[in-house]
Amino acid sequence: MRVTVDQEMCVSAGQCATLVGKVFDQREEDGVVVLLDERPPVDLEEAVRDAAAVCPVGAIKLAES
């Protein structure tokens, strides 16, 4: 799996960072998503899919590799 984020779309909801803190974080100054691992380990893939699904603006994109 390959993960990308669109920081311009992000509304700083923070659900992604709450669900998968090993893959997503938030910038201190404005809460915008920061991608920590664009190729997360297999054991985190389900949680990453959940994070993408709950993103209120669809800023997280997933591609199977």
Domain architecture of the chain: domains with CATH: 2-63 (3.30.70.20)
Contacting residues for 16 by C-beta, under 8 A, at least 6 apart:
23, 24, 33, 51, 52, 54, 55, 60
- Overall average pLDDT of the 15-36 stretch: 98
pLDDT of residue 65 exceeding 90: no
User: How many Cβ atoms from other residues are within 10 Å of residue 55's Cβ?
Assistant: 22
Q: How many CB atoms lie within 10 A of CB 52?
A: 19
Residue 3 β-bridge partners: 62
What's the chain's length in residues? 65
Predicted TM-score (pTM) of the model is 0.94
* Mean local confidence (pLDDT), 8-29: 97
